[in-house]
């Protein structure tokens, strides 16, 4: 069976994968859901989180794995798994981008994220977050997110994501597009994935958070891609 390493997006934590992790493990797979520094239970006070710190956190885990893993990144987590695969391509059997950040080498995740005090993170307006992230999700999952979301540091969003064809480019990859996404439009997602010939493409009729809205379908999709 496969080991899946799940990397969340901005504001989120390992908690957002609770449905998906349960279903994957029920199929006999192993699942490692990561809390990036400053998120979930991995709270940090100083220095503020950086994209390199996110990447190093994931890479350290990969290098300790007995066998190559399927590395899944949601939203901002796409940039993190790109960096981790660039650092340790031999430890990744497949990259899966889930409505995720992906682009040319040297591009930042967000060119101009919202302003915040130095060293502090910023939070989304909750009403806007629910409408953007969870509009097609069960109400209890939207409430869980409202209770668990954490501030997002600006620095990781502004850092340049660097990859090479010789390292990241040698790892098989797939992109799962979400047709009802209100954060990244499906046209944007298709353009991102289409920039990389050979990248597998799968669509789900879901908003930005299919781990809440259609966990069974997402489980099947990941299991199929892992084969």
The residue annotated as part of the active site, out of 8, 12, 57, 75, is 75
- pLDDT the model gives residue 118: 46
Q: Please state the pTM of the whole predicted model.
A: 0.95
Which pLDDT tens digit goes with each residue over 131-179? 999 999 999 999 999 999 999 999 999 999 999 999 999 999 999 999 9
208 is catalytic: yes
Please, is 202 exposed, middle or buried when counting C-beta atoms within 10 Å of its C-beta (0-12, 13-18, 19+)? middle
181 is catalytic: yes
Q: Where are the beta strands (DSSP E) in 28-185?
A: 30-34, 69-74, 92-98, 107-108, 121-122, 152-153, 160-161, 173-178
Domain segments of the chain as ranges = 3-226
The residue annotated as part of the active site, out of 8, 29, 208, 209, is 208
Q: Determine which of 3-17, 19-33, 119-133 has the lowest per-residue pLDDT on average.
A: 119-133
Domain 3-226: CATH architecture, name and number where available: 3-Layer(aba) Sandwich (3.40)
Mean pLDDT for the stretch of residues 116-139? 83
pLDDT band at 36 (very low <50, low <70, confident <90, very high): very high
The residue annotated as part of the active site, out of 136, 181, 206, 213, is 181
Angstrom distance (rounded) from CA 85 to CA 168:
5
Residue 119: pLDDT over 60: no
């Amino acid at each position: 069976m496969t080991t899946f390493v799940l990397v969340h997006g901005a504001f989120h934590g390992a908690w957002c994968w609770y449905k998906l992790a349960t279903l994957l493990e029920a199929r006999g797979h192993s699942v490692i859901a990561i809390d990036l520094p400053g998120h979930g239970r991995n709270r940090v006070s100083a220095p503020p989180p950086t994209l390199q710190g996110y990447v190093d956190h994931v890479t350290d885990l990969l290098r300790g794995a007995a066998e190559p893993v399927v590395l899944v990144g949601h939203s901002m987590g796409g940039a993190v798994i790109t960096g981790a695969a660039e650092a340790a391509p031999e430890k990744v059997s497949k990259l899966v981008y889930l409505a995720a950040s992906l682009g040319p080498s040297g591009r930042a995740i967000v060119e101009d994220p919202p302003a915040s005090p130095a060293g502090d993170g910023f939070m989304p307006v909750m009403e806007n977050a629910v409408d953007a992230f969870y509009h097609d999700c069960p109400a209890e999952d939207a409430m869980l997110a409202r209770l668990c979301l954490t501030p997002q540091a600006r620095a990781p969003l502004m850092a340049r994501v660097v990859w090479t064809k010789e390292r990241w480019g040698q790892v098989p990859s797939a992109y799962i597009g979400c047709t009802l996404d209100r954060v990244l439009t499906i046209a944007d997602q298709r353009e991102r994935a289409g920039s990389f010939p050979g990248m597998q493409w799968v669509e789900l009729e879901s908003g930005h958070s299919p781990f809440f809205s259609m966990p069974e379908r997402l489980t099947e999709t990941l299991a199929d891609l892992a084969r």
